[in-house]
């Protein structure tokens, strides 16, 4: 048995949000390698052409997920084109860092809208089709900020903690339909965005707090997604997989 057969992802329809860069791109590439049909959703309009360059079956959709009312039609478009959705990966997110005493309502609202509200209603819309299709996988990328407090991350921590508990509720309600719902909570990840913020002394200080002494790599997060999306993870639901090199245990 080869690895594609072992994971059972080959031929599945996988929707990945925030797919054009960073963790989302790593997830897309791995899912394509495992033989999935990947629908790349991103607010970067270049995602449509980018999907055509992937080494596998990929289709790009330009969409602003902050438009919550458009989410049902987005999901319906995928179902109409590919016949269903087997896996939804909620990866898109934003981080607006402000001291707790300085958080602005606009940044609070924007953070919760993209990081919590949009993933929730994407999951809800996808679940309707998954129920009709006999099951599926919903995986959301949260953060270590879902379980610990980080300075200047009040809105971000709130949004990610909310995503974890909302996923647990969905897991409890939808398990009977063959749908698993899980979250993955990484530490800092070595994406271009991560490197821009976590550099120099700030990065050195942060790495010193992580027992493994380094940040995570995008392909490490993608591998965890692949496992939770696979047939072998059918008994895992309502979990928050923390990939932080031990940061939250010390």
Does residue 182 form part of some domain?
yes
pLDDT of res. 186? 98
Give me the CATH number covering residue 127: 3.40.50.720
pLDDT of res. 113? 98
Whether the pLDDT of residue 4 is over 80: the answer is no
pLDDT of res. 193? 81
- In tens, the pLDDT along 163-215 reads 999 999 999 999 999 999 999 999 999 998 888 888 999 999 999 999 999 99
Query: What percentage of the chain exceeds 70 in pLDDT?
Result: 99
Does residue 152 form part of some domain?
yes
Whether the pLDDT of residue 3 is over 80: the answer is no
Does residue 159 form part of some domain?
yes
- The per-residue DSSP string of 12-54 comes to -EEEEESTTSHHHHHHHHHHHHTT-EEEEEESSTTHHHHHTTS
Ranges 71-80, 151-160, 193-202: which has the least confidence: 193-202
3-class state of residue 94 by DSSP: coil
Does residue 187 form part of some domain?
yes
Confidence of residue 159 (pLDDT cuts 50, 70, 90): very high
Confidence of residue 7 (pLDDT cuts 50, 70, 90): confident
pLDDT of res. 24? 98
Mean pLDDT calculated for residue range 8-36: 97
Confidence of residue 5 (pLDDT cuts 50, 70, 90): confident
* Cα–Cα dist 102/98, whole Å: 6
3-class state of residue 81 by DSSP: helix
Whether the pLDDT of residue 43 is over 80: the answer is yes
* Cα–Cα dist 161/49, whole Å: 34
Residues noted as catalytic: 156
Whether the pLDDT of residue 222 is over 90: the answer is yes
Does residue 12 form part of some domain?
yes
Cα of first residue to Cα of last residue in the chain, in angstroms, is 40
Mean pLDDT of the chain: 96
- The per-residue DSSP string of 113-181 comes to IIIIIHHHHHHHHHHHHHHHHT-EEEEEE--GGGTS--TTBHHHHHHHHHHHHHHHHHHHHHGGGTEEE
Does residue 240 form part of some domain?
yes
Which tokens go with 66? Answer: 């902050």
Does residue 250 form part of some domain?
no
Does residue 91 form part of some domain?
yes
Helix axes 154-174, 105-112, angle to 10 degrees: 30
Burial classification of residue 97, based on how many CB atoms lie within 10 Å of its CB (0-12 exposed, 13-18 middle, 19 or more buried)? middle
Mean pLDDT calculated for residue range 111-116: 98
Structural domains counted in the chain:
1
Owning domain of residue 162: 3-244
CA 203 and chain centroid, separation: 23
136-141, strands of its sheet edge to edge: 57-62, 37-42, 13-17, 87-90, 136-141, 179-186, 240-243
């Amino acid at each position: 048995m080869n690895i594609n057969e072992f994971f059972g992802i080959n031929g599945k329809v996988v929707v990945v949000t925030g797919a054009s860069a960073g963790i989302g791109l790593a997830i897309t590439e791995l899912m394509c390698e495992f033989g999935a049909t990947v629908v790349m959703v991103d607010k970067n309009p270049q995602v449509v052409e980018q999907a055509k360059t992937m080494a596998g079956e990929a289709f790009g959709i330009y969409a602003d997920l902050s438009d919550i009312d458009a989410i049902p039609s987005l999901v319906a478009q995928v179902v109409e084109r590919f016949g269903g959705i087997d896996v939804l990966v909620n990866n898109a997110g934003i981080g607006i860092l402000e001291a707790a005493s300085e958080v602005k309502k606009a940044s609070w609202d924007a953070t919760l809208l993209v990081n919590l509200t949009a993933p929730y209603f994407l999951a809800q819309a996808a679940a309707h089709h998954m129920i009709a299709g006999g099951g599926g996988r919903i995986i959301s990328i949260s953060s270590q900020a879902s379980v610990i407090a980080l300075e200047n991350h009040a809105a971000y921590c709130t949004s990610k903690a909310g995503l974890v508990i909302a996923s647990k509720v969905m897991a409890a309600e939808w398990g009977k339909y063959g749908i698993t719902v899980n979250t993955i909570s990484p530490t800092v990840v070595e994406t271009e965005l991560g490197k821009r913020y976590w550099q120099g002394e700030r990065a050195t200080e942060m790495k010193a707090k992580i027992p493994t002494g380094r940040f995570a790599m995008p392909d490490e997060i993608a591998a965890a997604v692949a496992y939770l999306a696979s047939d072998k993870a059918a008994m895992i639901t309502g979990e928050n997989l923390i990939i932080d090199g031990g940061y939250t245990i010390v």
